[in-house]
Structure 1
Amino acid sequence: MTTEARSNTTQDLHELVFSRAFAAPPATVFRAWTDPDQLVRWWGPRDFVLTIQAMEVKVGGIWEYVLHGPDGTDYPNRAIFEVVEPPRRLEFFNSGGHVSDRHLTCRMIVTFEDRKTQTLVTLRMQFETEAALERARSRGAEQGGRQSFERLVEWLA
């Protein structure tokens, strides 16, 4: 199954949505999203490397990380967890992206839906404005999201 990616834009909502079924139970997939040792194996576009400086998965907890691009560019990020409901839901506000353009500043909502032999994961990246959404798209957010989900499939296998 491929990762479905779509954009929603309404007067109040500007988001990228990624959805994919994974052949693992929700607890396993949730752990892959919240365990730093697993996240470094799959988070980010293909050929990017993830470094995690801090990660405390609890309401109010901080996740500080840097995505290192294959060209040597660093993309620092800082997220604050707003909702942590294992193994069903994560919400965090992410501030980051390129140092000169914080194009990945958005609320991320991740749901983990039990589908008996699979877990349907839906990631919603909600941006404050349509311009912010378009800036993220122009910097490759859709491709990066798809590749992250592909890497997660490979990691869970």
Structure 2
Amino acid sequence: MSATGPGAPAQSATADREIVISRVIDAPRELVFEAFTEVRHLSRWWGPDGFTTTTRSFEFRVGGEWDFVMHGPDGTDYPEWISWTEIAPPERIALLHGESRGDTNAFESVLRFEPEGAATRIEMYTVFPTKELRDEAVEKYHAIEGGRQTLGNLAAYVAEIVRKGAER
């Protein structure tokens, strides 16, 4: 049951095409943002558990692209492509993500980085072109669990940077 009328929460027009994943990461916002925006960091943590990433090209700017391959633990290669559509350091990144440039099934994501005390809350808000593509991403590719694992890998990676910094 959903409420309607003045003061009721609005149902998003894209709700059936969305995935929203968030996590609090015990690191400063600037470091978490940097880990998302520099290829030397991304290649160390990007992807779900057991995956590795090989970058073919990377240019972090509005209109720039990240062309890469994710290597699954079973040896399967997944070509990936991201184009940055908005960059507002250190608060927000918007991007288009598909298998390659021109992918008609590419999805849009917005990442928000919010300070939460000394930590950072990161929220990944993703909208797929259709409900069917969203459902396929969830059911076939385990997108929700994969997204959670990816943010877990980010959290572990920046925790290691913070720990090494504290040792100096």
- TM (norm. structure 1) is 0.86
1:100-126, CA deviations, whole angstroms, 9 ceiling, x for partnerless residues? xx7x73101100011221111000111
Moved over 2 A (4+): 9-13
Query: Which residue does 1:61 correspond to in 2?
Result: 64
Match of residue 4 from structure 1: none
Q: Which residue of structure 2 aligns with residue 150 of structure 1? A: 152
Distance 2:46 2:136 in 1: 20
How many pairs are equivalent?
Answer: 145
Q: Within 5 Å, give how 1:125-136 maps onto structure 2.
A: 125-136=126-137
Identity of counterpart residues, as a percentage?
34
* Distance in 1 between residues matched to 2:75 and 2:106, nearest whole Å: 21
Give the 3-state SS of the residue equivalent to 1:82 in structure 2.
strand
Q: CA RMSD in A?
A: 1.9
**What is the CA–CA distance in structure 1 between the aligned matches of 2:12 and 2:129, rounded to whole Å?**
11
Q: 1:141 aligns to what?
A: 143
Structure 1 or 2: more helix by fraction: 2
For residue 73 of structure 1, the aligned residue among 71, 76, 88 is 76
Contact 2:14 2:127 in 1 (8 A): no
List runs of 5+ in structure 1 lacking aligned partners.
Answer: 1-8
Q: How many Å separate the matches in 1 of 2:134 and 2:153?
A: 23
5 Å matches for 1:62-101? 62-96=65-99
**TM-score normalised by length of structure 2:** 0.80
Deviation at 1:76, TM superposition (A): 0.6
Alignment correspondent of 2:122: 121
